[in-house]
Chain A
Amino acid sequence: MLRIEGVTVEFDGKIALDGVTLDVADGEVVTVLGPSGSGKSTLLRVVAGLQRPDRGRVLLDGKDITSVLPHRRGIGLVFQDHALFDHRDVQGNVAFGLRMRGDSRSQMEQRASELLEVVGLTGYERRSVATLSGGEQQRVALARALAPAPRVLLLDEPLGSLDRRLRDRLLEDLEELFERIALTALYVTHDQAEAFALGNRVAIMRAGRIVQVGTPDELWARPADEDTARFLGLGNVRDGTMIRPEGVAVTHAADGSNGDGVVESVARRGPTMHVNVRLDTGETLEAAVSGLDYPSAGDRVQVAIDERGIVPLD
């Protein structure tokens, strides 16, 4: 439905986007994951019509919209840091797009209330946006973008400025919401957890290029290259091969055995423990241990690698 085709953007000779091609199917959520400065936001601005590409096209339902003005595209955008209209109350913000297309007053009020209910802010109509918390502002921004029922919703690091706990909660809400309203969306983030949780497919972006697109499983199973594997936090990359941490089993050295190496560090990442082992050969190996038994730093351990966890890289 949305097709970005060979889009290139240069700023004063510096390339921000380099021949980016990406498809978003009807009802699909594609997340764009990349470090800051990789060109993610510029990509969204091109799709929204706020940035004209130097080369390439943007197609919506097969129609070239590259030179259509932003206000005629029917594409929604949730801005980083919200960009709410401080001079309007919550309802004034949410109903803005409806007013632009000429809805009647009662239509606007009804639709705004509907959207506020969707984002869990029922009864906030007359509140000034400046009095809202960060999470509430985020919800208003989302409701505002959704209100005119855009063909595609673009989200630019919408949870970027929120604290961890709020983020996790909003992330769950978004997941649920996206599913419920069968949204077509392009979602930009630098956070892997967000990208994998929300995206039907994830596009990995680096230095203005999309280096890999796939479902979270596909990406995790087979990163395109070493940099991608490292960016995804897969530590055991060497000589064109990656050993997935969850494919490495670490057990205490059995009695009478000397084991394969010594545990250097153990760090908890949620339910899994990340165990760094220095092998007697001098190499280090990272293992993800999810059981209740795990070694401590300094322990001698035995290491077993599942063949399926060894992935050749390009």
Chain B
Amino acid sequence: MDEHRAPVSAHAWRALTYGVPLAFLALFFAYPLASILERGLGSGENIRSPLDVLTDPLTREVAWFTLWQAVASTLLTIAVALPASYVLGRYAFRGRNVVAAAVTVPFVLPTVVVALAFLAVLPEGLERGWAAILIAHVFFNVAVVVRVVGAFWAGLDPRVSEAAATLGASPARSFREVTLPLLAPVLASAASIVFLFSFTSFGIVLILGGPRYSTLETEIYNQAVRMFDLRTAAVLALVQLVCVALAVWAATHLEQRLALGGQRRAERHVLRPLRTRGEKAFAAASLGSLAIFLGVPLAVLVESSLAVGDGYSLEAYRALGRPTDALLATPWEAVLNSVVYAAGAAVIALVVGGLAAFAVAGSRGGGARLLDGSLMLPLGASAVMVGFGFVIAFDTKPIDFRSSPWIVPVVQALVAIPFVVRIVAPTLRAIDERQREAAAVLGASPGRVRREIDLPVAGRALGVAAGFAFAISLGEFGATVFLARPDSPTLPVAIFRFLGRPGELNTGQAYALAVILMAVVGVSVFAVERVRALRTGWV
């Protein structure tokens, strides 16, 4: 049906929505990756053959641990997140927006900080090992599931469950047979994100895994940075890339199969106040236990930033304005750098990811699915690999990009783009086609329809995506650590540098910067929530 509509502008639009993301991906992902592989797999003397690496029992052990901890983390995260998702998706109550914003904070915290918080919080003997990794992964990822599933749930017409009830289905039965199938696509989508994050988790595994537990990601880092064994790092990177590509393919395939054309309703028609004592108790228990689980490690983090000797003081914060031998800039400058870089990254991610979202949402064809999957790849390929790839690829001709101030925002955007696509595309898909038709009949050209219908309706999602992109970029560590110039570090990089130095003041400053980072992230996420609330029902 679309084919006969303004073929020229339709083709131009398609070229734009596919072309820009693909070009970005080719230059800033495929090219650095190829550079790593060339450096790692090319022929050379006195280095192991790729096959030797593959058949090494250590490789198998690392791959197996990577897989099972990712699966376990995903299942645990979903189980922990479901009750809170339900409460946020079904009930309106005072402070709902604050809860939704607060629950997002852990997700955007740098992994290093999360890892350290759990190192401090967990009882001795448990603080290193697989259990600590799983708990930290749940802490880190529970927000994605609560946010994504809660938002989707809040748009599910409760009348379908009510219809099931009138047909004799018990609440549990109705959940299993009506709600769960309707939630399935978004559960699959959230699970795929959690899986990928756990699969490629770096900071948490590096610190909480101790010497015994290593994933592909940390092993790539170990081999490349600590052992200078590019060969092994490249082969492990290849293994990881294949695994991730398979997982992404399976996830998109599953999502497509599960996608239902369920009736979406505006939140205000869906959410209702908490009425019975049982409902209130359930909401309080599920949100309360989540608050304790998410809050305690963060409280410990704040406490640690204030702890000096046996007492408390603001000494660590005061020291932030002074030059330090850990950095070539004062720590406060790192705060400013972080904000500027993250804002740039958010703009890039919004433009590239927004265009890609239109392409992905505009078609169910293979091309759209391929683009969607390709954009997920930078997540899977891991920040460490991307950052390392940038160093190799853009250090020399033909593209000497290394010293450009844009390199940090670009690499951060690369990591944020998949989130923008994942947030915006479903909203675009959910727009009733008749709204576009109504606009067309009233005289809106296809381009105008996108501007008048798609953009405003997706505006909220774009705002949320921008906030997420900004917050993710603020906390990005694995890639930025390779690329930030020594005289202009970002917050996570500065934290990392402080952690690597002995002495109570250095550790204290690391914690203080972590608290500041948490505050900036918290404020930006909270602002996004306010925008969402303001724009409800009126543009």
Contact = CB atoms under 8 A, between A and B. Distances in A.
B539 A130 contact: no
Given A71-B443, A83-B432, A77 B6 contact: no
Given A83-B432, A100-B444, A50 B437 contact: yes
Given A51-B1, A79-B434, A87 B456 contact: yes
Nearest to B269: A130
A97 interface: yes
B299 interface: no
Contacts of B439: 71, 85, 96, 100
B266 A130 contact: yes
Contacts, number: 87
B440 to A, nearest CB: 4
A30 to B, nearest CB: 19
Contact of A48 (B6, B441, B449, B538): B441
A7 interface: no
A67 interface: yes
A144 interface: yes
B299 to A, nearest CB: 40
A73 B445 CA distance: 11
A145 B440 CA distance: 12
B144 to A, nearest CB: 26
Nearest to B535: A87
A288 interface: no
Given A51-B1, A69-B6, A83 B435 contact: yes
B278 interface: no
**What class of interface size applies to chain A in its complex with B?**
20 to 34
A222 interface: no
Contacts of B274: none
Contact of B434 (A69, A70, A83, A144): A83
A83 B442 CA distance: 12
A50 B441 contact: yes
A144 B266 contact: no
Nearest to A45: B437
B94 interface: no
Nearest to B442: A97
Given A85-B435, A100-B448, A77 B441 contact: yes
B443 A148 contact: yes
Name the residue among A67, A75, A130 with the largest chain B CB count within 10 angstroms.
A130
Interface string B1-37: 1001110000000000000000000000000000000
A96 B438 CA distance: 10
A70 B452 contact: no
17 contacts: A50-B1, A50-B437, A52-B1, A69-B6, A69-B445, A71-B440, A71-B441, A72-B443, A83-B434, A83-B437, A88-B456, A96-B442, A97-B443, A100-B443, A100-B448, A144-B438, A148-B442
Closest 8 CB pairs of A and B: A100-B443, A97-B442, A83-B434, A70-B440, A77-B441, A83-B438, A87-B539, A87-B456
Given A79-B437, A83-B438, A144-B442, 16 more contacts: A50-B440, A52-B4, A70-B440, A70-B441, A71-B440, A71-B443, A72-B443, A79-B438, A84-B438, A85-B438, A85-B453, A87-B457, A96-B439, A128-B537, A130-B537, A144-B438
